[in-house]
Amino acid sequence: MHVITDVALDPYSSSGHDGLVQDGEIINDDSVEILAQMALSHAQAGADMVGPSDMMDGRVGYIREVLEENNFPNVGIMSYSVKYASCFYGPFRNALDSAPGFGIKNISNGSGQRRRGT
């Protein structure tokens, strides 16, 4: 059995975005740092592979660097494209009752933010 975890900030943000948002702008570098620490905590808990869900620039390289610096060279990093194309991604989005998008108005709630379940 293998354990694959989701590495994402959106479950913990009121905006529903995978990056830290400050004054309406996503802060890439600080977001990448948090995502790398999250991936490390998953590896320390026994994950065999981590699957970042964000779109932050440089995240995969930095996650790899942090994992290797902390003696987790064999923890894999799943690409977002593989995750997105899997049979698990659609049901995951349905379970969250959300649709991706930044600044794109959601027909369901018109907020421009991901819609959370009611």
Question: Does residue 89 surpass a pLDDT of 60?
Answer: yes
Among candidate residues 55, 52, 83, 80, the one with its CA nearest the CA of residue 66 = 52
In a domain, 19, yes or no: yes
Contact 56, 31 (CB under 8 A): yes
| Domain, as residue range, for 24 | 4-96
Q: pTM of the prediction?
A: 0.73
Among candidate residues 9, 13, 27, 16, the one with its CA nearest the CA of residue 99 = 16
Question: Does residue 111 surpass a pLDDT of 50?
Answer: no
| pLDDT tens per residue across span 8-67 | 888 777 777 788 888 888 899 999 999 999 999 999 999 999 999 888 899 999 999 999
In a domain, 115, yes or no: no
Count of domains in the chain?
A: 1
In a domain, 50, yes or no: yes
In a domain, 51, yes or no: yes
State the pLDDT at residue 47: 97
